[in-house]
Structure 1
């Protein structure tokens, strides 16, 4: 079957005109938009793999009251700015599997400071960072229940974090220690960190 010569010429002419004509404006924008979306998804996926940040914002739109960021080595960077961040911080640490209790220091606590776990390595479980209002928690350094070689069972510890806030409701200081039992209240300045260790 043969194709008429006139049809071939018209087809060749139309194809040639289409090849040299500029592309419609909408056609050039769509690929760029898809590229941006793909890049944004990749950036979010990368950030999720390296850190988990959970802030609690005040109603005024101010800086987060607290944030927890998980590092690649498993340590946690903690920021605490105001007392309204304490409940969220406690909940977040629990959800992340960290045995920690967070309290606001109470000068009138009748039991005073809780006793320290006898074999706790508190200096390694949490360290106050040189950056203001932050500290580093090492969950792997919070001792688990352990059976000693002689068969005695030693109870694990909980990282107790006691925060102090100034009259401006900003973090004034944080102290911490590893305890066997979490108290209902604690005086501030219970040990490592002390009243001048600003988180």
Structure 2
């Protein structure tokens, strides 16, 4: 393949990757919240981007076939992920309805690095859709390219993850003036709670 063909394949991977990760989800909601609060943003962004890179690479290497051969593993992940999301939704709901002054600088105490890392890892790796979309779907599309172009596609998809999570995490600080109001935080946490509950319930029923 020519250099132009390889670049076009990488751009296709970039667009496909972005299309899959931009949708509002538990992981994105957490990255946004951490970005607004300005807590452990770099760590969270790196974990999200690196996790996507590993999952995309796994798909290209054919790990998706193992997932299809052992659906029970996905089921276990699905139920564990559903329980985690519903639990996180309850915490967000509690923040939303709890009275008190909550601003961007005055939350219920900063989230520790360990807690932030554990949360983002759980939101990423306990999501069965990550294996179905990122590993199976992206892996299949990547492997449908010419043999010398599949990693260009994967590289484009990985770049999409880096760009998206960086923009979401570091760009969220632009919203800080709006979230200087306690009501704004309660609205955000209420929205996060709804997203977590909805995703958790859908995951539990296998939707």
Relative to total residues, which structure has the larger helix share, 1 or 2?
Answer: 2
TM range (shorter): under 0.3
Q: TM-score, normalised by structure 2?
A: 0.22
The structure with higher relative contact order (CA 8 Å, sep 6+) is 2
Relative to total residues, which structure has the larger strand share, 1 or 2?
Answer: 1
Q: TM-score, normalised by structure 1?
A: 0.23
Q: Which has the larger radius of gyration?
A: 1
